């Protein structure tokens, strides 16, 4: 059967998406006719100067906002319609999308375009986005999506296509979710592939290989899952257990890719844990070394991610080096034994010191990853991590402090047991993977960022490469994340200041400009909010502060909401007024003022701070000066006539 595979933004651009290549290999091995459309790389190559930063790691969040994706689709309509035409011309009856966090909305928009052009095409979604949780059922609520695969589809998708070719309908099986009339039906969990030697080779022959940034790389994965179950990681939830290739199979597939793409001499192992079975690595290294005696085809360079374990012996490390292993990245994470125990990491710092020393002695570039601000980590324990860095600097080439410090990874033990680790419940507010804080207030995003800055400074002082792990500048990433943090905490003045600093360093960032335009709209509305607030406050100067504070105590839950409310909806306040009727006019005017502020949709609120104050989010606004100054700066950053805007605003004020 003819099938088209599609990758939408956002994915990275160094090399082709391995998941899509693996699926292409599985489908072709099962006898299906496959076409591949990596629209992520195609659109990246065609990106405008304004969209240049959208593919950088630190801007991935752009693609999770529907209005921004819709704007991108509108601006790139001609290119997208051309790609649509190419997909339809293949006559593929089934069109499958590989979906990850960040590509779900663009994938859905392209699916809508396909269904509008030809409703008879069967649209199938799969990929890591659907491995866990209820996302399968949620996605099937969208009419353009006919079928969703949950979990690894190496076997289930080819079998599904065979059924579809034979019966002309989507057949339910394990790992498959679909609609039957108005009902969403799920086929249950699919069994993982226990032995990866049985999985067909990934197939890159259908990809536009000349478009990727790194023309020397081949992506490869020899294992799935991990032999450990670290609390901060969701890998062991995605992959039930640990499955891997034998050394012989690893050698056979890489040799196959080298024959097809002889100019690509570097193999990037995407395994979370490439040394889950050290004996397989050793066998692979032996085969590569033996092949060197007969041919130069397997003269390759490669790097792996590895766990700290005693089996990483000098003998093994020497064999890996001779086979072309150029770099090993170890997850050290912390220098504190107590923090390591809280992470559920099964090694001691003394073993790590020996493994790092032996790796470096084997002439393999030695990289250590660290997490900062893990829940429960004290300042003293962070100091132990710095001491570990100092004590092992001679054994290291690179030190990577995670750019997310410690994130709450979806489906991880840490995320699902926040209370156990002392993480504050966000309440009604949606929890954030980066901006969490502990109940005692000693561990917040700002604390973690401070530790990150100090760690990087020490690494550079020690002469190590402080690997940044992001595409852009470290300072841009800092400003971007601070802006988003203050936006999350509703400190809108601070958020605006951070976005302004970001825009000054990256004037072409469409993400920053989009947020600044929203702040500009709110700031333009604020003079009206200030006038209305002053009219209410000055019109009731006789109301004593004690009565005002009582009114706040009884109404604050409603006043800090973004919806107007009636007096009868606030029973505590209504009951108090029955005994204090002389304040009825004050309260009525307060309710009208609140309703007016919410009608402006500029995040203006009445809050208490030794008296009623007007707040922008959680920041108090004392008068028009700060707002006018910020508006002028935002307008200038957006390339608009700030003075003209200011005159217009002053005339509006004077006309009322």
- Each residue of 542-552: pLDDT tens digit? 999 999 999 99
Confidence band (pLDDT; 50, 70, 90) for 59? confident
Q: Please determine, for residue 653, whether its predicted confidence score (pLDDT) is greater than 50.
A: no
CB atoms within 10 A of CB 85: 10
How much is the pLDDT for 472?
67
- Each residue of 147-161: pLDDT tens digit? 999 999 999 999 999
Q: Please determine, for residue 523, whether its predicted confidence score (pLDDT) is greater than 50.
A: yes
* CA nearest neighbour of 374 among 398, 407, 332: 407
Predicted TM-score (pTM) of the model is 0.89
CATH number of 2-186: 3.40.50.280
Sheet holding 94-98, edge to edge: 33-38, 2-7, 94-98, 122-126, 147-149, 176-180, 183-186
Distance between CA atoms of residues 22 and 2, nearest Å: 17
Q: Please determine, for residue 62, whether its predicted confidence score (pLDDT) is greater than 60.
A: yes
Confidence band (pLDDT; 50, 70, 90) for 292? confident
φ, ψ for residue 162, nearest 5 deg: -60, -45
* CA nearest neighbour of 540 among 591, 575, 603: 591
CB of 10 within 8 A of CB of 60?
yes
Residue 201 gets which letter from DSSP?
Answer: P
Give the chain's length: 656
Distance between CA atoms of residues 467 and 568, nearest Å: 59
Beta bridge partners of 161: none
Residue whose entry in the numeric block shows the structure tokens 């959680």 = 618
Averaged pLDDT, 612-638: 91
- Which tokens in the block code for residue 369? 């990853």
* CA nearest neighbour of 521 among 531, 532, 533, 529: 529
CATH topology classification for 216-472? TIM Barrel (3.20.20)
Residue whose entry in the numeric block shows the structure tokens 């419940």 = 425
- Which tokens in the block code for residue 570? 């606030």
Q: Which of these ranges, 26-40, 53-67, 275-289, 482-496, has the smallest mean pLDDT?
A: 53-67
- Each residue of 550-571: pLDDT tens digit? 999 999 999 988 899 999 999 9
* 49 against 655, higher pLDDT: 49
φ, ψ for residue 400, nearest 5 deg: -115, 110
In Å, how far are 378, 382, 436, 478 from 442, measured between CA atoms? 8, 13, 11, 20
Strands 176-180 and 147-149: antiparallel
CB atoms within 10 A of CB 27: 24
Distance between CA atoms of residues 627 and 521, nearest Å: 12
The Cβ-side half-sphere exposure at 390, using a 13 Å CA radius, reads: 9
Confidence band (pLDDT; 50, 70, 90) for 470? low
Rg (CA), the chain: 29
- Each residue of 316-361: pLDDT tens digit? 999 999 999 999 999 999 999 999 999 999 898 899 999 999 999 9
Q: Reduced to 3 DSSP states, what percent helix, strand and coil does the chain have, rounded to the nearest 5?
A: 50, 15, 35
How much is the pLDDT for 429?
62
CB of 411 within 8 A of CB of 133?
yes
In Å, how far are 85, 102, 106, 141, 616 from 125, measured between CA atoms? 20, 14, 12, 13, 41
CB of 64 within 8 A of CB of 33?
no
Confidence band (pLDDT; 50, 70, 90) for 475? confident
Residue 502 gets which letter from DSSP?
Answer: H
How much is the pLDDT for 262?
95
The angle formed by the CA atoms of residues 141, 2 and 38, to the nearest 5 degrees, is 70
Instruction: State the span(s) of the chain assigned CATH 3.40.50.280.
Output: 2-186
Distance between CA atoms of residues 398 and 321, nearest Å: 17
Residue whose entry in the numeric block shows the structure tokens 């290739």 = 245
Q: Please determine, for residue 440, whether its predicted confidence score (pLDDT) is greater than 70.
A: yes
CB atoms within 10 A of CB 185: 14
Beta bridge partners of 125: 97, 148
Instruction: State the span(s) of the chain assigned CATH 3.20.20.70.
Output: 216-472
Q: Please determine, for residue 244, whether its predicted confidence score (pLDDT) is greater than 50.
A: yes
Distance between CA atoms of residues 62 and 59, nearest Å: 6
Check whether the bond before 645 is cis (ω within 30° of 0).
no
How much is the pLDDT for 471?
65
The angle formed by the CA atoms of residues 608, 613 and 619, to the nearest 5 degrees, is 90
User: What percent of the chain has pLDDT above 70?
Assistant: 96
* CA nearest neighbour of 427 among 443, 441, 413, 439: 439
Q: Please determine, for residue 642, whether its predicted confidence score (pLDDT) is greater than 60.
A: no
DSSP secondary structure of 348-362: -HHHHHHHHHHHHHT
Mean pLDDT estimate for the chain: 92
- Which tokens in the block code for residue 313? 């012996």
* 299 against 89, higher pLDDT: 89
* 31 against 467, higher pLDDT: 31
φ, ψ for residue 472, nearest 5 deg: -95, -160
How much is the pLDDT for 553?
96
Which secondary structure element, helix H or strand E, spans residue 595, and what is its range? helix 584-600
- Which tokens in the block code for residue 49? 């100067």
Distance between CA atoms of residues 62 and 70, nearest Å: 11
Beta bridge partners of 34: 3
């Amino acid at each position: 059967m003819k099938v088209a595979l599609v990758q939408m933004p956002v994915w990275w651009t160094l090399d082709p998406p391995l998941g899509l290549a693996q699926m292409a290999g599985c489908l072709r091995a099962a006898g299906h006719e496959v076409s591949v459309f990596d629209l992520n790389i195609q659109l990246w190559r065609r990106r405008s100067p304004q969209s240049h930063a959208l593919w950088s790691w630190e801007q991935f969040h752009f693609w999770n906002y529907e209005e921004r994706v819709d704007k991108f689709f509108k601006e790139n309509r001609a290119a997208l319609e051309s790609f649509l035409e190419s997909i339809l011309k293949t006559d593929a009856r089934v069109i499958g999308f590989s979906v990850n966090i960040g590509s779900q909305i663009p994938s859905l928009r392209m699916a809508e375009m396909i269904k509008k052009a030809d409703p008879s095409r069967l649209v199938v979604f799969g990929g890591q986005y659907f491995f866990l949780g209820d996302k399968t059922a949620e996605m099937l609520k969208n009419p353009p999506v006919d079928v969703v695969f949950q979990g690894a589809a190496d076997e289930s998708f080819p079998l599904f296509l065979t059924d579809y070719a034979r019966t002309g309908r989507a057949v339910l099986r394990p790992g498959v979710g679909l609609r039957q009339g108005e009902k969403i039906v799920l086929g249950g969990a699919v069994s993982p592939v226990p032995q990866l030697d049985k999985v067909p080779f990934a197939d890159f022959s259908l990809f536009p290989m000349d478009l990727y940034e790194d023309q020397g790389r081949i992506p490869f994965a020899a294992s799935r899952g991990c032999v450990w179950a670290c609390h901060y990681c969701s890998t062991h939830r995605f992959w039930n257990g640990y499955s891997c290739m034998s050394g012989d199979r690893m050698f056979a597939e890489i040799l196959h890719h080298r024959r097809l793409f002889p100019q690509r001499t570097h193999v990037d192992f995407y395994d979370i844990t490439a040394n889950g079975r050290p004996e397989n690595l050793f066998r692979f290294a032996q085969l590569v070394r033996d092949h060197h005696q007969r041919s130069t085809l397997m003269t390759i360079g490669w790097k792996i991610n590895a766990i700290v374990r005693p089996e990483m012996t000098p003998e093994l490390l020497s064999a890996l080096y001779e086979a072309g292993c150029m770099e090993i990245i170890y997850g050290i994470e912390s220098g504190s034994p107590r923090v390591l125990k809280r992470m559920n990491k099964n090694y001691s710092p003394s073993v790590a010191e020996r493994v790092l020393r032996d790796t470096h002695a084997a002439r393999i570039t030695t990289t250590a990853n660290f997490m900062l601000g893990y829940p429960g980590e004290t300042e003293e324990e962070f100091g132990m991590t710095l001491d570990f860095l100092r004590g092992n600097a001679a054994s290291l080439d690179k030190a990577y402090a995670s750019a997310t410090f410690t994130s709450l990874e979806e489906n991880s033990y840490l995320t699902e047991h926040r209370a156990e680790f002392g993480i504050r419940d966000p309440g009604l507010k949606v929890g954030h993977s980066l901006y969490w804080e502990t109940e005692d207030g000693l561990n917040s995003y700002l604390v973690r960022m401070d530790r990150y800055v100090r760690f990087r400074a020490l690494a550079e002082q020690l002469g190590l490469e402080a690997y940044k792990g992001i595409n852009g500048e470290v300072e841009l990433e800092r400003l971007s994340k601070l802006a988003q943090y203050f936006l999350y905490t509703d400190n809108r003045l601070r958020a605006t200041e951070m976005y302004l600093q970001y825009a000054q360093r990256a004037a072409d960032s469409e993400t920053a400009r989009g947020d600044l335009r929203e702040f500009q709209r709110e700031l333009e509305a604020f003079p009206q909010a200030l006038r209305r607030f002053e009219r209410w406050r000055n019109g009731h100067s006789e109301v004593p502060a004690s009565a005002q504070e009582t009114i706040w105590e009884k109404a604050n839950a409603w006043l800090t909401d973004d919806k107007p409310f009636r007096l009868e909806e606030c029973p505590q306040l209504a009951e108090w007024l029955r005994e204090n009727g002389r304040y009825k006019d004050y309260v009525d005017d307060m309710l009208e003022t609140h309703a007016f502020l919410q009608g402006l949709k500029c995040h203006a609120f009445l809050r208490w701070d030794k008296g009623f104050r007007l707040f922008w989010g959680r920041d108090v606004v004392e008068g028009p000066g700060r707002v006018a100054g910020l508006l002028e700066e935002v307008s200038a950053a957006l390339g608009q006539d700030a003075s003209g805007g200011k005159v217009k605003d002053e005339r509006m004020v004077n006309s009322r």
